[in-house]
Chain A
Amino acid sequence: MFFENDPVLLSRILTYLTLGFHAIFATIGVGIPIMIAIAEWMGIKRNDPHYTLLARRWARGFVITVAIGVVTGTAMGLQLSLLWPNFMQAAGHTIGLPMFMEVFAFFFEAIFLGIYLYTWDRFKSKMRHFLLVIPIVIGATASAFFITTVNAFMNAPQGFEIVNGVVTNVNPIEAMFNPATPTKISHVIITCYLTAAFVLGAIAAVKILRGNKSVYHRKALHMTMVAGAVFAVGTAVIGDLSGKYLHEYQPEKLAAAEWHFETETEAPLILGGIINEDNEISYALEIPYALSILAGGTPDTEVIGLNEFPEEDLPPLFVHYFFDLMVFIGMYLAAVSTLFVVMNWKKTWNAFNKPLLIMVAAGGPLAIVAMESGWIFAEVGRQPWILNGIMRTSEGATTSGQVGLMLILFALLYTVLAVTCIGVLRKMFKRNPVEREMYKREIQNYEVK
């Protein structure tokens, strides 16, 4: 073994692995229903069969990702008790409610997803079928909402008192709607939408880059980029609010993200750079006043530095890299989608030019990277706490000696799932290309010169 048999460390790695893998499928699982809903709606409103087919094909691929989302989500749910029994024993008293409600939301979504997929041609009215996608969107977003309140609680625990080591005076609603909740849920939900828009946009962009001239892909690209631009602007606004939340409630996390050591006003924002063991920063770009503005809205906001905290309470400083990666990619996605929308709007410009298409295509995988980076920053940034300020991560873990073996098994499982998922999705769409489906459904295939 590469690691000594330390259940705490191994439990952390296994949790990272499960969450990191689940997050990909969960994110697109929350985001894609809304894109399907928009496409089906456009198909009905414009009486345009291309959009309806888009919704139909997205839905088909979506089921495959949902399946993996469901099984890895089940794994995560059980692993919480298996790997962190002491944490769940303590936290179950306060966050049982949102976890329970998340399962309801998931249940609701599961029922309507089954109905939606098997009733495409069953109702006479297209509108009735469209109505079935709404509970899926609501269910998907509601489960993101509830489960994120749990994570928000871990960052800003409240709604209970500890008397002689026993949790008392619990207020489940107060625990759910803690200070971290508003920024966390809005950020998670909108970035899910953004990521889904870019993942689907990237597919269309790749098709067009490969020489496909069908108007179907052009409509897909345009639709996803308009949605992407809207979600990206939303993400930026909420990201700014998240900075202000951190400043007020988790200053050590913000300081670690920004390598901000001295408490001061007019604090600069540090972009990129490398830090050495003596905490000296090189190759970084400093933007004067920006951190103070991010934290409080004015340059004279005093931002608390890392030196104010005892060393054992500090998160690792490498979170800065993940923070920067997330912000850079977020900006990139906003720029690319806005550029596309503007160029497409100006009739004389060609938005479908090669460099821009390549940038859109890169946006899909990059959005996933940004999402993962954001979660790594959020989760590692709260170390060494599992319940911020209340319970250390090491106090929450299992004492079992077999976590190492389980880690290997799960790593194998996720590898196999990832490989088959990609293979199945490729096969599914290669064997049934859109041209053939249009022909079969007697949809006109306009080609663009």
Chain B
Amino acid sequence: MSYEVIGITVLWLFLYGYLIVASVDFGAGFFSYYSKRTKKDHMIHPIIQRYLSPVWEVTNVFLVFFFIGIVGFFPETAYYYGTALLVPGSIAIILLAIRGSYYAFATYGAKESNFYNFLYGATGLLIPASLTTVLTISEGGYITVENGNVELLYGELFGSLYSWGVVALAIVSVLFISASFLSYYAARAKDETALKLLRTYALTWAFPSIGMGIIVFFLLGGRNPEHFAGMLDLWWMFAISTAAFATAFTLILKKRNYGIAFIMVMIQYFAAFFAYGASHLPYLLYPYLTIYDGFTNEAMATALIIAFIAGLLLLVPSLYLLMRLFLFDADYVEGRK
């Protein structure tokens, strides 16, 4: 494998990691708020809080990792994406800032506040929508480059069916991933009432998520035929994704093995996300930037990969400790600690 491919694979892994952990977090915020509105919050709020409190900060790091990593491996992206994404990027930062700090304010500081709860719930759906702009514009046709000036075409962005399709896909996926994880967590906590509600949420959002996935798949065909052809070559990965979805859905429906069901959901998104990413290569930004012309020098690439391996040696045991204490510790999950 060339350095370029290693680089983009590492980054894609982190983006996938963010997709999963952030979805759980964003969805939890929405369910927490929605259940409050429907006066069911006492059923799921403690479960959500018990899971999120120790890990919310870690979630953020996955994102930071991705955007610092991409500038490290592919400095050229800073120029294209940086210039084009000033507005959507800034909006995403502001939403993330509000969400992160108000989560801490509400959890560690002030009493329950409806307003905090609303912010937490609403940003949970707006952030994924604003972050998907990056994926959308990477398909090409949404920015112009003239005399070295990069500009985002807002009319094109807001007027295209594809960009709205991606936004919808992001939102329903967040809700589905989150509900299936929280169902698993509630099952582990032996919290029957929470499980019942969360299971309903998971089943509700299952079909919209796979449906949107298929719709966006075909919308992309109209947007970027070259990329679409690449995706068709990797059809078997999308088949794995669909099969994993079917397994997950069946398990949740039959009220069995929520853990395996969540792993299936992870496989569903892993396969689809990697197939999407792999078929997009070599382009980082179609048609301006490929992983080859945007790559950093060799010395930096080696240094980054060494740092990455050393970092993983430090992080994996720490993450394992975190999960053992808060995810796999029956006493903690059941609320006895």
Contact = CB atoms under 8 A, between A and B. Distances in A.
B297 A63 contact: no
Interface string A71-82: 111110111111
Interface stretch (A34-42, A322-330, A342-350, A398-406): A398-406
B185 interface: no
Contacts of B65: 103, 107
B307 A100 contact: yes
Interface string A104-129: 10111011111101110010000000
A311 to B, nearest CB: 29
Given A106-B61, A110-B58, A110-B61, A115 B322 contact: yes
A15 to B, nearest CB: 13
A70 B93 CA distance: 11
B104 A67 contact: yes
A77 B67 contact: yes
Contacts of B105: 64, 67, 420-421, 424
Contact of B75 (A73, A90, A106, A119): A90
Nearest to A413: B94
B69 A115 contact: no
B100 A70 contact: yes
A106 B64 contact: yes
A75 B92 CA distance: 9
Q: Is the interface of A mostly helix, strand, loop or mixed?
A: helix
B78 A92 contact: yes
A445 interface: no
A89 B75 contact: yes
Contacts of A82: 82, 85-86, 89-90
A413 B97 contact: yes
B315 interface: yes
A84 B75 CA distance: 12
B317 to A, nearest CB: 10
A233 interface: no
Contacts of B325: 115, 118-119, 122
Greatest chain B CB density within 10 A among A80, A81, A86, A90 is at A81
Greatest chain A CB density within 10 A among B71, B94, B319 is at B71
Interface stretch (B49-57, B199-207, B246-254): B49-57
Contact of B300 (A73, A89, A172): A172
B75 A67 contact: no
A92 B61 contact: no
Contacts of A398: 82-83, 86
A74 B319 CA distance: 21
B243 interface: no
Interface string B57-81: 1101101110111011111101111
A86 B314 contact: no
A354 interface: no
B9 interface: no
A101 B311 contact: yes
Interface string A163-193: 0000110111100000000000000000000
B89 A78 contact: yes
Nearest to B90: A406
Nearest to A429: B109
B83 A107 contact: no
A405 B87 CA distance: 9
B296 A96 contact: yes
Contact of B72 (A96, A114, A118, A135): A96
Contact of B71 (A73, A99, A405): A99
B161 interface: no
Contacts of A74: 60, 63-64, 93, 96-97, 100
B144 interface: no
Nearest to A407: B90
Contacts of B93: 74-75, 78-79
Interface string B134-155: 0000000000000001100000
Contact of B303 (A91, A97, A102, A413): A97
Contacts of A71: 60, 96-97, 100-101
B53 A118 contact: yes
Interface string A408-428: 011001000100110111011
A333 to B, nearest CB: 29
Greatest chain A CB density within 10 A among B56, B299, B307, B337 is at B299
A44 to B, nearest CB: 21
A97 B63 CA distance: 17
Nearest to B57: A110
B98 interface: yes
A167 B103 CA distance: 43
A291 interface: no
Interface string A9-42: 0000000000000000000000000000000000
B321 interface: yes
A60 interface: yes
A66 interface: yes
B157 interface: no
Nearest to A7: B86
B58 A94 contact: no
Contact of A115 (B81, B89, B304, B321): B321
A97 B110 contact: no
Nearest to A406: B90
A59 to B, nearest CB: 10
A417 B299 contact: no
Greatest chain B CB density within 10 A among A71, A80, A96, A400 is at A96
Nearest to A117: B54
Nearest to B107: A63
B318 interface: yes
B308 A81 contact: no
A44 B185 CA distance: 36
A52 B191 CA distance: 34
A81 B82 contact: yes
Contact of B82 (A85, A96, A172, A173): A85
Given A118-B326, A119-B325, A406-B87, A68 B53 contact: no
Given A71-B97, A74-B100, 8 more contacts: A64-B104, A78-B93, A79-B93, A85-B83, A114-B53, A170-B299, A399-B83, A400-B86
13 contacts: A74-B64, A74-B100, A80-B78, A89-B76, A89-B79, A92-B75, A93-B297, A103-B65, A104-B311, A110-B58, A114-B326, A173-B303, A421-B105
Interface of A: 60, 63-64, 66-68, 70-75, 77-86, 88-94, 96-97, 99-104, 106-108, 110-115, 117-119, 122, 135, 167-168, 170-173, 398-400, 402-403, 405-406, 409-410, 413, 417, 420-421, 423-425, 427-428
Q: Which 6 A-B pairs have the closest CB atoms?
A: A92-B75, A96-B72, A85-B82, A67-B104, A88-B78, A114-B54
